[in-house]
Amino acid sequence: MTIPEKIKKPHVAFLPSPGMGHITPLFEFAKRLVIHHGFHVSFFVITTAASAAQNELFRPENLPADFTAVEIPPVENISSFLTDDMKVVTQLCIMVRESLKHLPSLLMKNRPKALIIDLFCTDAFEICEKLSIPVYSFFTASTILMAFSLYLPTLDSEVEGEFVDLPETIQTPGCSPIHPHDILDQVKDRKNEEYNWYLLNVSRLPLAVGIFVNSWDDLEPVSLKALRENLFFQNIPLPPVYTIGPLIKQDEVVTEQDAEILAWLDDQPPDSVLFVVFGSGGTLTSEQLTELAWGLELSQQRFILVARKPSDASASAAFFNVGSDENDPLLYLPEGFVRRTEGRGLVVPSWAPQTLILNHRSTGAFLSHCGWNSTLESITNGVPITAWPLYAEQRMNATFLAEEAGVALKFSKNPGEELVDRNEIEKNVRIVMEGEKGKDMRRRAKELKESAKIALNSGGSSYESLCSVVEFWKSQ
């Protein structure tokens, strides 16, 4: 009997834009293909302006077998392309544009069956068309934002002036109406270069062979039905939309500091701790951070506060330096705050193991910026949210979570734009941690947690959706 020749594993490639919020879901998708579906993955990593958190993620010991991280050489003199007044998306798109000049040669070294990109890597469509490599898009935010983004070229041609000045809500076909104030920051100023970059990238979405979304049918039924059935999207025409979520970070390296946080949580009662953090890139102003600290103290609730050095310039000041902003919270938190809340509160500088904390039995609620990755991590652990949106599409997410999903409480003011005072912070924290509304939100979050498990298990909607594409790739 002869030993059969080793069967070569199917090979696909991934390409995320910079920023941990974009990298993490594509990374988890790639791992799922490797671990559960027998694929080999090439994961292209844009190294220009890489953060400490990104470098840590791609250390060889953190990668499974058959997962190859392929570094795209850093762009020489990237500063010559950027100016101090450029917004984050403009900087990001320019980094991608210049980095992808290396992509054709890298793709041809080990040609994949398909390339999966995120929203800001759409220059890859033209590159891959010349190489006859099919391109799929992974829309890493909500399907509500995806539907709005696909409608944006129509809005752009039909509406004069600024969308935020519209007297009525914006009606994306088949979806819930959006208040103009809630639309993502990137489209609030049509004269800014950032708007043109966003419009360019979303207008290319229909070029994809298929679009993966990090969601599941029970979480966003209205927008998913619209994308699949509404005539507007059928006439674009929109490629197949595959729900494959929730894809969240599965593994976290536990540092000595992390172990101390988890040990502190072990000593707290179930559902008693409010976890406060503003994502991988979010920052507060000095005045707002002071009000937040006082609000937490006045609430008399247990809390973990991830304290990041405040910035009066930008709510996304930490976007490109995640994991490297070492600081001493005692220098900018109210004098005596750490001492007065000792035992009841825990202040952690810069960074904390978010998924491990949200998964802990003692965590009762999450004061969050409502970025989509954090939203999914909270819901899949059955944790309700106190919504504190800061930038990008986070206001859209916060409104959806409060008004449709029923798992979040919004402030009456607009965090990031107006000062939320300590009294309102105290009130909202108490409602979520102790009130009847908070209990209802927690019940709903736990329902969606179970729904997410079903979607991802064999026979579930997300599992079967991904399997249909996997089988197609394997048959090629």
Same domain, 412 and 470: no
307 and 409 both lie in a single domain: yes
Active-site residue identified among 40, 118, 123, 185: 118
Half-sphere exposure of 1 (CA within 13 A, CB side): 2
Query: Which is higher by pLDDT, 44 or 279?
Result: 44
Mean pLDDT of 466-475: 97
Q: Which two tokens stand for residue 232?
A: 């507007």
Using pLDDT thresholds of 50, 70 and 90, give the confidence band for residue 314. Answer: low
With cut-offs at 50, 70 and 90, classify the pLDDT of residue 452. very high
Active site residue 251: no
What residues contact residue 199 under an 8 Å CB cut-off, 6+ apart? 152, 153, 156, 187
In a domain, 429, yes or no: yes
Strand order of the β-sheet with 408-410 is 345-349, 302-307, 273-276, 363-368, 385-387, 408-410
Same-domain status, 325 and 408 = yes
State yes or no: pLDDT of 270 exceeds 60: yes
Instruction: Give the DSSP letter string of 380-449.
Output: TTT--EEE---STTHHHHHHHIIIII--EEE-SS-TTTSPPPHHHHHHHHHHHHHSHHHHHHHHHHHHHH
The reply to whether 274 falls in a domain is: yes
Please report whether residue 3 resides in a domain.
no
Query: Does residue 465 lie in a domain region?
Result: yes
377 and 431: one domain? yes
What was the pLDDT predicted at 315? 58
Tens-digit pLDDT profile for residues 417-449:
899 999 999 999 999 999 999 999 999 999 999
Tell me: do 182 and 35 sit in the same domain. yes
pTM of the model: 0.94
Give the mean pLDDT of 249-263: 90
Per-residue pLDDT, 351 = 87
Q: How many domains does the chain have?
A: 2
The answer to whether residue 271 is catalytic is no
In a domain, 105, yes or no: yes
235 and 294 housed in the same domain: no
Are residues 136 and 117 in contact, defined by beta-carbon separation less than 8 angstroms? Answer: yes
pLDDT band with cut points at 50, 70 and 90 for residue 319: low
Q: Indicate whether 354 belongs to any domain.
A: yes
Alpha carbon of 29 to those of 10, 85, 457: distances in Å? 15, 34, 15
Query: What would you report as the CA-atom Rg of the chain, rounded to the nearest whole angstrom?
Result: 22
pLDDT category of residue 321 using cuts at 50, 70 and 90: low
Same-domain pairing of 312 and 428: yes
| pLDDT number for residue 254 | 87
Tokens 């250390």 belong to residue: 59
Q: Does one domain contain both 124 and 141? A: yes
Q: What is the per-residue pLDDT for 4? A: 34
Task: Please report whether residue 250 resides in a domain.
Answer: no
Expressed as residue numbers, the domain containing 336 is: 256-453
199 and 294 co-located in one domain: no
The CATH number covering residue 391 comes to 3.40.50.2000
Does position 318 have pLDDT exceeding 60, yes or no?
A: no
User: 322 vs 433, which has greater pLDDT?
Assistant: 433
Confidence grade of residue 2 (pLDDT, cut at 50, 70, 90):
very low
347 and 397 co-located in one domain: yes
Q: Are residues 382 and 397 in the same domain?
A: yes
